[in-house]
């Protein structure tokens, strides 16, 4: 396995959990944490570095005090951003995170120009689109992490209803990472066997709804968004790229005619390997699923327009 150097920008809940997961599984040779609050990156890098004493493979965990100290990464994972606060509209949040993501993208270009970028900051599809445009990188090298997480959530609910081990469930979620996400039952199976063989129609409806509410359910309990499953989903993508394992993982990518859409990001199944997105898989969708994807694209486009009208691409 080719264990590379992974930069993580934003050492909050998701960023630090990702570093921990990568280090415990020995996926990366080196991890560098950066956060706008330097002490957060320093403290967590030291803590995770000390945990590696018990790992089977060695991982060096470093921190970067300034963006220029994060150099030569094979992959950079971007989890930086601010959560929505009281009185803040969605477009306020959109603009705040867009400015953060824009600055970060320029720094990645400067200091790790060879890197493949995995975007995690929300709103995910819009931030991935922004990073693609600001970076000037090919769409194969700017990948939004969404379907890996939403699929893992769907697998969890399928496993609960079928009493089958979650690791044997292949669950596929398409579309926007948000209200319009589309759990795709026809693309999901348990050890290759159709879900409908194990689960009745009304339970399947529940699985779809629970998956769509997956993130919100955790916020209700914790008062903040999830981080363990996001971290595992990110690390699975990192592993697929570093290991060139050609895994099929739904990801948010820029489309150029696939599924009938152009100049937009959307969550679709892709093959991940050493070059990033090596192939976008076009499924033959029924009209109901296509209509749901149309809604996703409209919603993503609406937010992209807000960024355009505020001059963020300039």
DSSP 193: E
Q: What is the CA radius of gyration of the chain?
A: 19
Catalytic residue among 132, 133, 156, 177: 177
C-beta of 36 vs 164, nearer to ligand APR: 36
* Interface pick for ligand APR out of 4, 6, 8, 12 (rule CB under 6 A): 12
Number of shown-chain residues binding ligand APR (CB under 6 A): 23
Shortest distance, CB of residue 3 to ligand APR, whole angstroms? 24
Q: 22, 59 in Cβ contact below 8 A?
A: yes
Could you tell me whether strands 116-119 and 5-9 are parallel, antiparallel, or unpaired per DSSP bridges?
unpaired
Taking CA atoms, 13 is separated from 33, 120, 313, in Å, by 12, 12, 29
C-beta of 100 vs 241, nearer to ligand APR: 100
As a whole number of angstroms, the distance between CA 181 and CA 65 comes to 37
C-beta of 33 vs 199, nearer to ligand APR: 33
N-to-C CA span, the chain: 41
Give the position of tokens 């769907």.
Answer: 154
Q: Taking CB under 6 A as the criterion, which residues in 177-216 touch ligand APR?
A: none
Shortest distance, CB of residue 196 to ligand APR, whole angstroms? 32
Q: Taking CB under 6 A as the criterion, which residues in 209-268 touch ligand APR?
A: 225, 227, 230
Q: Taking CB under 6 A as the criterion, which residues in 273-312 touch ligand APR?
A: none
Q: 7, 74 in Cβ contact below 8 A?
A: no
Shortest distance, CB of residue 135 to ligand APR, whole angstroms? 16
Give the position of tokens 């040779």.
Answer: 29
* Interface pick for ligand APR out of 24, 36, 96, 247 (rule CB under 6 A): 36
* Interface pick for ligand APR out of 9, 142, 207, 233 (rule CB under 6 A): 9
Shortest distance, CB of residue 116 to ligand APR, whole angstroms? 18
Shortest distance, CB of residue 66 to ligand APR, whole angstroms? 11
As a whole number of angstroms, the distance between CA 43 and CA 55 comes to 19
Beta strands in 115-260 (DSSP E): 116-119, 142-144, 169-170, 173-174, 182-183, 189-190, 193-194, 247-256
As a whole number of angstroms, the distance between CA 5 and CA 80 comes to 19
Shortest distance, CB of residue 21 to ligand APR, whole angstroms? 13
Per rule CB under 6 A, is residue 79 in the interface with ligand APR? yes
* Interface pick for ligand APR out of 1, 37, 88, 222 (rule CB under 6 A): 37
Q: Is 177 a catalytic residue?
A: yes
Beta strands in 153-261 (DSSP E): 169-170, 173-174, 182-183, 189-190, 193-194, 247-256
C-beta of 1 vs 37, nearer to ligand APR: 37
Q: Taking CB under 6 A as the criterion, which residues in 93-132 touch ligand APR?
A: 100, 104, 120-122
User: Residues with catalytic annotation?
Assistant: 177
Binding residues (CB under 6 A) for ligand APR: these are: 9-15, 35-37, 40, 79-81, 83, 100, 104, 120-122, 225, 227, 230
């Amino acid at each position: 396995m080719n264990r590379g150097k992974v930069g993580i920008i934003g050492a909050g809940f998701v960023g630090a959990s990702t570093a921990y997961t990568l280090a415990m599984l020995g996926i990366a040779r080196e991890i560098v944490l950066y956060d706008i609050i330097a002490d957060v990156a320093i403290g967590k890098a030291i803590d995770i570095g000390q945990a590696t004493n018990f790992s089977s493979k060695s991982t060096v965990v470093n921190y970067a005090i300034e963006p220029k100290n994060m150099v030569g990464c094979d992959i950079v994972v971007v989890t930086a951003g601010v959560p929505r606060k009281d009185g803040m509209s969605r477009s306020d949040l959109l603009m705040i995170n867009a400015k953060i993501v824009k600055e970060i993208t320029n720094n990645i270009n400067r200091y790790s120009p060879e890197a493949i970028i995995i975007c995690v900051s929300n709103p995910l599809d819009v931030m991935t689109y922004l990073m693609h445009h600001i970076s000037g990188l090919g769409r194969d090298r700017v990948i939004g992490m969404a379907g890996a997480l939403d699929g893992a959530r769907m697998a969890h609910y399928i496993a609960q209803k079928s009493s089958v081990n979650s690791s044997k469930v292949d669950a596929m979620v398409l579309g926007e990472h948000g209200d319009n996400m589309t759990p795709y039952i026809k693309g999901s199976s348990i050890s290759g066997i159709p879900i409908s063989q194990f689960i009745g129609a009304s339970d399947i409806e529940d699985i779809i709804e629970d998956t769509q509410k997956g993130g919100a359910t955790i916020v209700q309990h914790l008062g903040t968004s999830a981080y363990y499953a996001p971290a595992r989903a990110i690390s699975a993508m990192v592993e697929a790229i570093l290991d060139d394992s050609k895994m099929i993982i739904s990801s948010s990518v820029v489309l150029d005619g696939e599924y009938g859409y152009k100049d937009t990001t959307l969550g679709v199944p892709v093959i991940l390997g050493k070059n990033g997105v090596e192939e976008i898989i076009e499924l033959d969708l029924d009209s109901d699923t296509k209509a749901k994807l149309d809604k996703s694209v409209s919603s993503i486009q609406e937010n992209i327009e807000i960024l355009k009208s505020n001059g963020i691409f300039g």
